[in-house]
Amino acid sequence: MNEPQQKWTETIEASHSLFDLKFKEIWRYKDLIYMFVKRDFVSSFKQTVLGPVWFFINPIFTTITYLIVFGRIAKLPTDGAPPLLFYLAGITLWNYFSTSLTGTSYTFAGNAGIFGKVYFPRLVTPLSIVISNLMRFGVQFILFMIVWGYYFVRGEAHPNIWILATPFLVILMALFALGVGMIFSSLTTKYKDLNMLLGFGVSLYMYATPVIYPTSSLPAGFKSIAYYNPLTGIFECFKYAWLGVGNFSPLMLGISTAIIMILLAIGTVIFNRVEKTFMDTV
């Protein structure tokens, strides 16, 4: 006699989608983001003598070094902008991008202990890194504004309406660092030597980005390639907006935005896929 077929009353299935960012869930954990941001900010200066003053020391000494090496010795052009202000503008943006990218790339490896003990949306961690670095950027941007104000009074800085795009430029850099950082963070759970490649690659990437030179100084062949660097449109727009110099066009910023959105989508897919199994490989 055949037994009657049993039917399940409830079925438990994973509701995890590769494109599911869980924005509502992340918003519920906003207090955790705040705690992580506070932790990162405080731990940076715990047991230090100068504390937040280091935010000013780094760009000041880096700018002076660039001024001597690239301005006086190499004599790289600045499109007529004051060299000190030109280099400081590039360094202020670059510091935020590089620290955000490096920080997010260690999301899985650096937080494996926490991830293995308690659940929360994993995207909270890279988001908190990007936000905490945004606070540091704000402090360094104040330094830039002080120097910029000096040259503006002297009539050597020529701002325009594109200044209003500054918040958008910062958001683009944050999303770019977040997207690429999630890609590297996911890959380093299996290939740990990629961390060394990233550190080396970030250093080289600075020289492929108009931090210490304007794109107008590049040969025609390299200039067309530089347009497809997502940071080119951001840096050129920032310098054009605040200094009134550069080879900026809205098309450059459009190209940067499109590439960054694509990389962010790719990073999200890879991150969401790896976060389910990373504890087996990290």
Q: What is the DSSP string of the chain?
A: -PPPPP--S--------TT---HHHHHHTHHHHHHHHHHHHHHTTTT-SSGGGHHHHHHHHHHHHHIIIIIIIS----TTS-HHHHHHHHHHHHHHHHHHHHHHTTHHHHTHHHHTT----TTHHHHHHHHHHHHHHHHHHHHHHHHHHHHHHTT-----GGGGGHHHHHHHHHHHHHHHHHHHHHHTTT-TTHHHHHHHHHHHHHHTTTTSS-GGGS-HHHHHHHTTSHHHHHHHHHHHHHHS-S---HHHHHHHHHHHHHHHHHHHHHHHHHTTTGGGT-
How many domains are there within the chain? 1
CA distance 253 to 233: 4
- Res. 277 pLDDT band, cuts 50 70 90: low
Higher pLDDT, 46 or 175: 175
Give the tens place of pLDDT for each residue, 155-204: 999 999 999 999 999 999 999 999 999 888 888 777 777 777 888 889 89
Evaluate whether residue 37 is within a structural domain: no
Residue type, 122: R
State CA 59 to chain mean position distance. Answer: 17
Q: What is the pLDDT of residue 266?
A: 92
What tokens appear for 224 in the block?
A: 């067309």
Q: What is the pLDDT of residue 209?
A: 93
**C-alpha pair distances (Å), 156 with each of 25, 98, 150, 190:** 48, 29, 9, 51
CA distance 39 to 58: 21
Whole-prediction pTM? 0.86
Evaluate whether residue 36 is within a structural domain: no
% of the chain at pLDDT higher than 70: 83
Q: What is the pLDDT of residue 233?
A: 94
Evaluate whether residue 11 is within a structural domain: no
Nearest to 21 by CA among 168, 142, 127: 127
Average pLDDT over residues 58-79: 90
Q: What is the pLDDT of residue 146?
A: 95
Evaluate whether residue 68 is within a structural domain: yes
Evaluate whether residue 237 is within a structural domain: yes
Q: What is the pLDDT of residue 198?
A: 84
Evaluate whether residue 189 is within a structural domain: yes
**Which range scores top for mean pLDDT: 45-49, 68-72, 146-150, 223-227?**
146-150
CA distance 85 to 260: 27
Helix (H, G, I), strand (E, B) or coil at 121: coil
Give the tens place of pLDDT for each residue, 98-123: 999 998 888 776 666 676 677 767 78
Q: What is the pLDDT of residue 268?
A: 87
Average pLDDT over residues 124-138: 88
Give the tens place of pLDDT for each residue, 5-30: 666 565 544 455 555 556 677 778 78
Evaluate whether residue 28 is within a structural domain: no
What range does the domain containing 228 cover? 53-280
Q: What is the mean pLDDT of the chain?
A: 83
Q: What is the pLDDT of residue 166?
A: 96
38-52, 83-97, 122-136: segment of lowest average pLDDT: 38-52
- Res. 154 pLDDT band, cuts 50 70 90: very high
Q: What is the pLDDT of residue 194?
A: 75
- Res. 278 pLDDT band, cuts 50 70 90: low
Evaluate whether residue 25 is within a structural domain: no
Q: What is the pLDDT of residue 210?
A: 92
31-35, 147-151, 265-269: segment of lowest average pLDDT: 31-35
Average pLDDT over residues 248-266: 93
